Amino acid sequence: MAYRKTPAELRRLDAAREHLIARATAVVAEVGWSQASVTAVADSAGIAAGSVYQHFPSKSALAVEVFRRAAGHEVAVLEEVLRGPGDAVSRLASGVGVFARRALENRGLAYALLAAPAEPAVGAERLDHRRRYRALFAEVVREGIATGQLPPQHAEITAAALTGAVGEVLAYPLGAPDDTATGTTGSTGSTDDLLAELTATVLRCAGAAAHPTTA
Amino acid sequence: MAYRKTPAELRRLDAAREHLIARATAVVAEVGWSQASVTAVADSAGIAAGSVYQHFPSKSALAVEVFRRAAGHEVAVLEEVLRGPGDAVSRLASGVGVFARRALENRGLAYALLAAPAEPAVGAERLDHRRRYRALFAEVVREGIATGQLPPQHAEITAAALTGAVGEVLAYPLGAPDDTATGTTGSTGSTDDLLAELTATVLRCAGAAAHPTTA
DNA sequence: GTCTATACCTAGATAGAC
DNA sequence: GTCTATCTAGGTATAGAC
């Protein structure tokens, strides 16, 4: 019974799987989790609905994989900035800036990752993902406290607050039809203004002294 | 065709409707929106599934009504505090305190209102509800800026950040199985500590000077 | 008006031909 | 391995008896 697939076969299968994940990600970004049925995803990938089950045991498994890839990428990007060079406060500022900019550049996907209604399995994955953001923020906050840039505070709670604040501030621009609302009010301000205000708010929240240049 | 129901009939019908809403709210608080099927709700209310449609045209309509009642109540409570007596900063502090305490005392419902996966109609209602929180917070922040208690800032963005921060800090305690996690880390701190830290974080976020007594 | 029973629809998942 | 066609389950909504 032990029959080993040739490398070429493996590569082909893997490519098909990757293609499916990529198309599923695109569909989710466009129409959200609830509308991303197996049929819709399969259509987009150019295969039959049944064929999806050659690559994933269930729709949930595919959805989770889609989420994990996309969210993992964002976490990695943020991690690189937050653990990069510079002092804690400026890393925090640029981390938030990078995160927000990326989200605003890919709104559909960002909304799906951050806020869009999703099945329980994806919801659980999202919680996990937010926990990682929290952990990253907490690291920086702790460092800031240690170096005296930030006042004493419960780093985990601040980190949770930062995660929530960033998500909520972005949620409205992201959730809006398209580019109708760059500012939170829907009427004022460009993306840059939004970013500047968000960064300032985040720094205040962590207790950083006013006006450090926001990378 | 114009036949007018007697007052007694009306009262009975209304009572039945209220009872149904109350039971539906309880079910949602216990098991979440996704598990609150018409059958489950009807069972809990002691009526047949079909009878639900005597009071509501659809499951969605019932769900929206449940959300609206519960969420409306929370908004009203917060509004009373935020527009009550005292200076802007202390009202902000006690408003957050009251909100958080209420949420922690009724976790299931708070989680359903704040974060639990829900059908689109409820999701839309939730957005609206959050907009109201934002508006209330923004009012107080504007007042604080005007009186010089708070530094200049974009009040709407700060308000969104506050809404998100409070929600996220509470989400983990709320989402946890039961009382395993009172602190954000799941290990440390009592509810009071959590409240104190949350309040401090919120005040920092709005730029309030440190250590006003937190009502 | 409320119940029982059921129709019906949506979506995920499977079987068997090719 | 992939497609077409189909099965099934879960849950909303309706019909008709009482």
A116, A170 contact by CB (below 8 A):
no
pLDDT at B67: 98
A153, A87 contact by CB (below 8 A):
no
Mean pLDDT of B50-78: 98
pLDDT at B48: 97
pLDDT at B31: 95
Residue B123 sits at the vertex; the CA angle it makes with A186 and B199, to the nearest 5 degrees, is 75
pLDDT at B14: 85
Determine the CATH number of domain B1-56.
1.10.10.60
B206, B92 contact by CB (below 8 A):
yes
Q: How far is the alpha carbon of B210 from chain A, nearest alpha carbon, in Å?
A: 9
Query: What does DSSP assign to residue B154?
Result: -
Our CA dihedral for A29, A161, A170, B107, rounded to 10 degrees, sits at: 60
Pairwise CA distance, residues A191 & B185, whole Å: 34
- At B114, which helix (H) or strand (E)? helix B107-114
CA B42 vs CA A34, B47, B50, B51, B67: distances in Å: 26, 5, 8, 8, 17
Structure tokens at B93: 């502090």
pLDDT at A51: 97
Average pLDDT over chain B, rounded to an integer: 90
Structure tokens at B40: 């489950």
Pairwise CA distance, residues B30 & A148, whole Å: 45
Structure tokens at A189: 């301000």
- Beta-carbon contacts below 8 Å between A and B: 117
The total number of residues shown for chain A amounts to 215
With tokens 């490519």, the residue in question is: A15
| Confidence tier at B175 by pLDDT (50, 70, 90) | confident
- Residues of chain A with C-beta less than 8 angstroms from the C-beta of B210: 151
Residue to substitute from A169, A182, A198, A199, interface B, most B β-carbons within 10 A = A169
Half-sphere exposure of A167 (CA within 13 A, CB side): 26
Beta carbons within 10 angstroms of residue A80's beta carbon: 11
Of chain B residues 13-52, which have a beta carbon within 7 Å of strand C? 13, 16, 46-51
Contact B204 A204 (CB under 8 A): yes
Residue A100 sits at the vertex; the CA angle it makes with A94 and A102, to the nearest 5 degrees, is 100
pLDDT at A47: 97
Query: What does DSSP assign to residue A90?
Result: H
Structure tokens at B202: 């919120």
Q: What is the mean pLDDT of each run of 10 residues along chain A (215 residues)?
A: 69 90 98 96 98 97 98 98 98 98 96 91 93 98 98 97 97 68 54 96 93 49
Of chain A residues 154-193, which have a beta carbon within 7 Å of strand D? none
pLDDT at B100: 98
Q: In chain A, count H helices and then E strands.
A: 8, 0
pLDDT at B181: 46
Q: Mutual orientation of helices B7-31 and B59-82 as an angle, nearest 10°?
A: 80
Instruction: Give the distance from CA B172 to its chain's centroid.
Output: 15
Query: Which conformational region is residue A188 in: left (phi greater than 0), alpha (psi within -120 to 50 degrees), or beta?
Result: beta
Whether any strand C atom is under 7 angstroms from the Cβ of B54: the reply reads yes
Is 0.85 surpassed by the pTM of this model? Answer: yes
A86 contacts chain B (CB < 8 A): no
Q: Which amino acid is at A77?
A: V
With tokens 């509810």, the residue in question is: B191
Contact A165 B194 (CB under 8 A): no
Q: Which amino acid is at A66?
A: V
pLDDT at A176: 61
A33 contacts chain B (CB < 8 A): no
B24 contacts chain A (CB < 8 A): no
Contact A161 B194 (CB under 8 A): no
Contact A201 B118 (CB under 8 A): no
The phi, psi pair for B57, rounded to 5°, reads -70, -20
pLDDT at A17: 96
Pairwise CA distance, residues A181 & B45, whole Å: 43
Structure tokens at B176: 């946890």
Residue to substitute from A99, A119, A158, A187, interface B, most B β-carbons within 10 A = A158
Higher-scoring residue by pLDDT: B176, B82:
B82
B161 contacts chain A (CB < 8 A): yes
Per-residue pLDDT at B155 exceeds 70: yes
Structure tokens at A146: 């240690």
Q: How far is the alpha carbon of A53 from chain B, nearest alpha carbon, in Å?
A: 25
Q: How far is the alpha carbon of A133 from chain B, nearest alpha carbon, in Å?
A: 12
CA B58 vs CA A103, B21, B44, B62, B206: distances in Å: 36, 13, 17, 7, 42
pLDDT, one tens digit per residue, over B88-135 is 999 999 999 999 999 999 999 999 999 888 998 999 999 999 999 999
| Confidence tier at B74 by pLDDT (50, 70, 90) | very high
CATH tag for A64-206 (out of 1.10.357.10, 3.40.1440.10, 2.70.70.10, 1.10.3720.10):
1.10.357.10
In chain A, where are the structural domains located? 1-56, 64-206
CA B130 vs CA A101, A163, B167: distances in Å: 23, 17, 10
